[in-house]
Amino acid sequence: MTTFNVKRKPWLLAILLLTVNLLLLSACGSSNKADESEKDRKGTQTEKSKTGGSVVVAIPQDLDYLDPNLAEAAGTREVMFNIFEGLLKANTEGGLDPAIAESYDISDDGLTYTFTIRDGVKFHNGQTLTSKDVAYSYAKLAGLKTGKPLSSSFANVKKIETPDDKTVVIQLKEKEAAFITAVTASIIPANYKDSNKTPIGTGPFKFVEYKKGQSLIVEKNKDYYVKGIPYLDKVEFRIVPDQEAAFLALQSGEIDIYPRIATEKAEQLATGFKTISNEQNLVQLLAFNNKVKPFNHIKVRQAINYAVNKDEIIKGVALGKGTKIGSNLSPVLSKYYNNELEDLYPTDTEKAKKFLKEAGYPNGFEFTITVPSVYPFHVDTAQVIVNQLEKIGVKAKIESVEWGVWLERVYNGRDYETTIIGLDGKLDPFEILSRYISTADNNFLNFKDPKLDKVLSNAKVEIDENKRITDIKEAQKIIAEDAAGVFIMDPHTNVTFKDTIKGYKTYPIYVQDLSSVYLDHPQ
Amino acid sequence: MDYVLKKTVSSLFTLFVVIVLVFLAFRIIPGNPANIILGVEATPAQVEELEQKLGLDQTLFEQFIHWFKGVLVLDFGESLRFSEPVLSLIHERMGVTFSLAFMAIVITIFVSIPLGIIAANYKGKFLDVLISIGTQIGLAIPSFWMGIILIMIFGLMLHLISVGGYVPWSENPLRAFKALLFPATAIAIPQIAILVRYLRTTMIEQLNFDYVRTAKSKGLKDSTILLKHVLKNALIPVITIAGLNFGAILAGSLVIEQVYALPGFGRMLITAIGDRDFPLVQGMVVMIAIIAITVNLLVDISYRYLDPKIKLK
Amino acid sequence: MLKKFNLVTGGAIVLFLILVFIVSFFYVPHNVNQMNIENRLIAPNHNYLLGTDNFGRDVLSRIMKGTQTAFIVGGGSVIIGLLFGILIGTTAGYFGGWMDELLMRMIDALLAFPGILLALILVTIFQPNIEVTVIAIGIMTIPSFSRVIRSGFIKCKQMDFVRAARNFGSSHLRIIFHHILPNTVSSIIVTASLSFSTAILVEAALSYLGLGIQPPDPSWGRMLNEAQGFAKLAPWYTLAPGFMLTLTILGFNLLGDGIRDLHDFSE
């Protein structure tokens, strides 16, 4: 926002202040706490008056499969989070909470995981969950019978045993610290075949009805093992592919919660709505193809890092809603985030020019930024970067290509010079950083650093949390110092809901958790 | 009749050329549908498996024969992305686009007839010049810009419309009407310009005919002559033109759907191309080609019957 | 009176545009691509006559540079359409027979192929840039030239002077280029003028859809695309490129009509 707008339009200032407020709140990862404090202030609202009611949530795409073993789309898993659970469950801080397992133990060699199942967990059909159900579900994902794992996170599983109804033992082929995040995968009743028609899980909500292309309706699981949760009786996930239509439906009151609303739309809304913005565990970067000239020269990569002004991009492209980063990890994973790297390359034209000269390009050079045209956000970022690089005599050309072409040529074919893209985060930091391992299949940056390979191979198997944190932080530092790319920001995502809705929690992964949501009934 | 048959046969040939072109064009450009469906996290093995499932591992020729056989019995296959029959997807989206086109035609006819009459009646006078300038400007304004301007005036300033919010007619006719009115207007404006000019010319022609003079000498009122006789005769070619411009109107709606975020044919075509959803793109293009070629055929045939000067040797 | 009006007004507008086009090579008020995030979306004032865009770039300068894009696309595609149109139109019209039938069915197929699709295929195979855009739009222009030239030839072929030339033993090439083509010039000029404005319109639509000219090169259609999100905050940004687009199309349409009227008159 320019000062101009604020001066002329006082209401804009109000919105701005409001947004800043929300930003600050969410920046400490506590948008949920904000709601709690509100609850305290109200005080009078008892647990009981919170229960009941129903809400409608807009989701942008149809579900691909109801069966959690078949579902590929992130948009499907996002809503199924309410129906299915794994042994463990992701929390708002990016950590793991006990879910179906009440506790677990990892053997010293890191190969044997022993889970103890919580008492009295019931499936939505009333059946009590036992270790057999867990073994059935996970053996299927690991492909123990077929030899073909359905999920790559389970590829490392050697065998699954059930010594008794309460215990599951999973044996791994080799040490893998990230495996613990795999057991967030959904558990279904053993030998249940109708998951794609009538999914049965253990989550806070149970499946009621799915209308293709229209909606998914779920209702309260009264037997949920966490007492008092969920509050809502019914939730409808309504499929509204069109942003404008969703926006209209929100305004007309047909939709209560609209996740991922565009910033300029959220700003247009009148009173009666509340918007939360926060990081989404996404890393936007200008990726270099580290193998091609001139980007195989570290000084060139560093020079470009000195020339790109991230603050300007955040202000101009993200309208201020982005958190500056310094390496390939979002600050939402606060435990692992190395916070010393954001200003490793302060914008410095002279230094950038000096580095270019040392690399043998005193007069700059020309190169192409290949951007997927479906993301205007990245195309706009490219425009700003082209402009910033002009100042150090480097001429960048934008080539915007279709998504399919980008996937084939840039991501899979690695036939490009530079590109701008947002890399999705995951729960485990190793799984995010592993693409920088020189032999990784998805190392589309062609990055190669023996030091990093070593640090990450440690992090891969390190079970000791503190040692692992040190490794992960070191890895981020190496990636940043080697300037694998220009790590720009974690762009914020917005959620807008009616202000009668309370308790909405945001997660560093792509989920909509309705279990904590309740309606604030006006007295 | 011989002429019609010959034209029809050559049109079918044209259609075949289009079908082959479309099929080939989309196979040679980069972009793999399996890759696009699975996204960045897919392993090569997963991609290969999906390719097999979608039948993309067959040779081009096999794929073409397989698809073409289907086309002959009006089976366009299943969309790769939505796993739904292409025809039902097209049917769904066509509703929006056809409603849009139909409304545009209605608006065009209702606005251009009075304007055309006025222009013809006041030929060479101030009103005629004004309308003439207006039609020139109407022809020059890009319809997608007109669309944006309408949103600015009626949406952002007067708050009368909100972009999007289209629902099928069966669900809420009023809202469907409201959502389509402005985009239809934007498409109609250049059509109005064309029609007014055409109407003016034919009316002026008619006014010079003997029957008008006879009617006048009989003492009939000018307005009666104009509305009862002249307009009636001028209307036939005008409505033909309006109908024949259906193709142009459909093309116009392609971009307008983007401006107004309407879930129509054009938007689906653009996403299907991006997804490399081969069967869907092929089905849609064949559909467009059929419409375009049919319209072309009708133009040729109707010109022949409307204008006796064009006779076959 | 009205006939002259078209010619004079159209001519004046086109002259003005040519002037802007020439000036834009030597002078624009501000650097076209220079961003200044602090100055984003400033309303028109004495420094920025048409305001600034969402990156703080001067809208007037970008509009002026945009004439280059428009003229290159318009001119380039008319040349492509004209060359192929002459080739196809003369062959089909002069020789007739199965050649005519085959060529015209190809032209029909081209017409039946949605233009956007064609542009998209070309842009994907090659790279989305101005050259490819010109080629794509140029190909879309071929049918109208071919048809106009063909019908001109069919008309002239039967005329006495052509028959006479043939009887005197003139070669086909001489008859085509010396006797017939000059007689179709006026209708070619009219088609060229109208195709020029259509080409600019199509380029704008393509760029509006993000398929044509690539950023940061200024194109009116692309500017409209970027401006739409800020229609409320910065109406000038939406109005300016659309106005230029309308003016250009209006100018060339009027000019084309004017030339046609003149021709009809003399006949």
Given a cut of 70, whether residue A210 has pLDDT beyond it is yes
pLDDT of res. C228: 80
Q: List, as ranges, residues 75-104 from C with C-beta within 8 Å of A.
A: none
Residues of A in contact with B38 (CB under 8 A): 72
Least confident of A195-209, A429-443, A454-468, C251-265: C251-265
Nearest CA of chain B to the CA of A69: how many Å?
14
Between B and C, how many CB-CB pairs are < 8 A? Answer: 115
Q: What type of residue is A375? A: Y
The residue to which tokens 């959803």 are assigned? B277
Dump the DSSP string for A235-251: EEEEE---HHHHHHHHH
Given a cut of 60, whether residue A227 has pLDDT beyond it is yes
Whether the Cβ atoms of residue A168 and residue A117 lie closer than 8 Å to each other: yes
Please provide residue A211's backbone torsions phi and psi, each rounded to the nearest 5 degrees: -110, 115
Confidence of residue A170 (pLDDT cuts 50, 70, 90): very high
Residues of C in contact with B13 (CB under 8 A): 105
Do residue C224 and residue B285 have CB atoms under 8 angstroms apart? no
Do residue C39 and residue A2 have CB atoms under 8 angstroms apart? yes
Residues of C in contact with B8 (CB under 8 A): none
Do residue B274 and residue A374 have CB atoms under 8 angstroms apart? yes
Give Cβ neighbours of residue B244 (< 8 Å, ≥ 6 apart): B295, B298, B299, B302
Burial-class residue A269 by CB neighbours within 10 Å (0-12, 13-18, 19+). middle
Given a cut of 70, whether residue A386 has pLDDT beyond it is yes
pLDDT of res. C83: 95
Confidence of residue C117 (pLDDT cuts 50, 70, 90): low
Do residue A408 and residue B44 have CB atoms under 8 angstroms apart? no
pLDDT of res. B244: 64
Q: What is the mean pLDDT of chain A?
A: 86
For range B140-158, the mean pLDDT: 85
Give C36-52 pLDDT, tens digit per residue.
Answer: 888 888 889 988 889 89
Mutation site, C13, C110, C223, C228, interface B, largest B CB count within 10 A: C228
Taking the C-alpha atoms of residue A279 and residue A506, their distance in angstroms, rounded to an integer, is 9
Confidence of residue B213 (pLDDT cuts 50, 70, 90): confident
Given a cut of 50, whether residue A35 has pLDDT beyond it is no
Given a cut of 80, whether residue C23 has pLDDT beyond it is yes
pLDDT of res. A450: 95
Look at residues C85, C80, C89, C90 and name the one whose alpha carbon lies nearest to residue C178: C90
| C115 touching chain A per CB within 8 A | no
3 state SS of B215: helix
- Which range has highest mean pLDDT (A104-108, A262-266, B19-23, B228-232)? A104-108
Give B234-288 pLDDT, tens digit per residue.
Answer: 776 666 666 667 777 777 787 888 888 787 888 788 788 878 888 998 898 888 8
Give A499-508 pLDDT, tens digit per residue.
Answer: 899 999 988 8
Between A and C, how many CB-CB pairs are < 8 A? Answer: 57
Whether the Cβ atoms of residue A150 and residue A69 lie closer than 8 Å to each other: yes
Tokens (6 digits) for B143: 């319809």
Taking the C-alpha atoms of residue B269 and residue B217, their distance in angstroms, rounded to an integer, is 59
For range A404-432, the mean pLDDT: 90
- Which range has highest mean pLDDT (B11-15, B94-98, C87-91)? C87-91
Least confident of A40-49, B218-227, C13-22: A40-49
Of C42, C55, C216, the CB nearest to A316: C55
Given a cut of 80, whether residue A10 has pLDDT beyond it is no
Given a cut of 60, whether residue B289 has pLDDT beyond it is yes
Q: How big, in percent rounded to 5, are the helix, strand and coil portions of chain B?
A: 80, 0, 20
pLDDT of res. C14: 95
Given a cut of 70, whether residue C124 has pLDDT beyond it is no
pLDDT of res. A12: 38
Closest chain B residue to the Cα of A242, Cα to Cα: B261
pLDDT of res. B29: 78
Of B43, B44, B261, the CB nearest to A242: B261
H or E element that contains A88? strand A88-90
Chains meeting B at 3+ CB pairs closer than 8 A? Answer: A, C
pLDDT of res. A243: 72
Burial-class residue B2 by CB neighbours within 10 Å (0-12, 13-18, 19+). exposed
Confidence of residue A64 (pLDDT cuts 50, 70, 90): confident
Give A74-103 pLDDT, tens digit per residue.
Answer: 788 899 999 999 999 998 888 899 999 999
Centre a 10 Å sphere on the Cβ of residue B73 and count the other Cβ atoms it contains. 6
Of B140, B259, B288, the CB nearest to C250: B140
For range A194-208, the mean pLDDT: 93
Given a cut of 60, whether residue B210 has pLDDT beyond it is yes
Give B161-198 pLDDT, tens digit per residue.
Answer: 666 567 778 778 887 888 889 999 999 998 899 889 88
pLDDT of res. A45: 52
Of B40, B44, B276, the CB nearest to A404: B276
Dump the DSSP string for A127-162: PBP-HHHHHHHHHHHHTTTTS--SSGGGTTEEEEEE
Q: How big, in percent rounded to 5, are the helix, strand and coil portions of chain C?
A: 75, 0, 20
Taking the C-alpha atoms of residue A272 and residue C238, their distance in angstroms, rounded to an integer, is 31
Given a cut of 50, whether residue A523 has pLDDT beyond it is no
More confident residue, B44 or A66: A66
Q: What is the mean pLDDT of chain B?
A: 81
Nearest CA of chain A to the CA of B30: how many Å?
6
Angle at A215 between CA A209 and CA A216, to 5 degrees: 45
pLDDT of res. B39: 75
Taking the C-alpha atoms of residue B145 and residue B142, their distance in angstroms, rounded to an integer, is 5
| C249 touching chain B per CB within 8 A | yes
pLDDT of res. A177: 87
Confidence of residue A26 (pLDDT cuts 50, 70, 90): very low
Taking the C-alpha atoms of residue A3 and residue A320, their distance in angstroms, rounded to an integer, is 13
Domains (range + CATH), chain B:
3-72 (no CATH), 94-312 (1.10.3720.10)
Scored b (16 or more CB within 10 A) or e, A134-168 reads bbbbbbbbbebeeeebbeebbbbbeebebeeeebb
Q: In percent, how much of chain A has pLDDT > 70?
A: 90
- Identify the bridge partners of residue A502 per DSSP, sorted by sequence position: A518
Of A2, A315, A383, the CB nearest to C215: A383
Residues of C in contact with A312 (CB under 8 A): 37
Confidence of residue B232 (pLDDT cuts 50, 70, 90): confident
Confidence of residue C246 (pLDDT cuts 50, 70, 90): very high
Do residue C250 and residue B129 have CB atoms under 8 angstroms apart? no
Residues of A in contact with B40 (CB under 8 A): 407, 411, 424, 442
Of C214, C232, C233, the CB nearest to A400: C214
| C31 touching chain A per CB within 8 A | no
Do residue C112 and residue B288 have CB atoms under 8 angstroms apart? yes
Task: Report the largest interatomic distance among the alpha carbons of chain C, rounded to a whole angstrom.
Answer: 76
3 state SS of A278: strand
For range A478-503, the mean pLDDT: 94
Whether the Cβ atoms of residue A181 and residue A96 lie closer than 8 Å to each other: yes
pLDDT of res. A446: 96
Given a cut of 50, whether residue A40 has pLDDT beyond it is no
Do residue A441 and residue B44 have CB atoms under 8 angstroms apart? yes
Do residue C54 and residue A402 have CB atoms under 8 angstroms apart? no
Whether the Cβ atoms of residue C202 and residue B251 lie closer than 8 Å to each other: no
Give A133-161 pLDDT, tens digit per residue.
Answer: 999 999 988 988 888 888 888 889 999 99
Alpha helices per DSSP H over C158-180:
160-167, 172-174
Give C39's DSSP letter: G
pLDDT of res. B42: 74
User: Which ipTM did the prediction report?
Assistant: 0.84
Give B152's DSSP letter: I
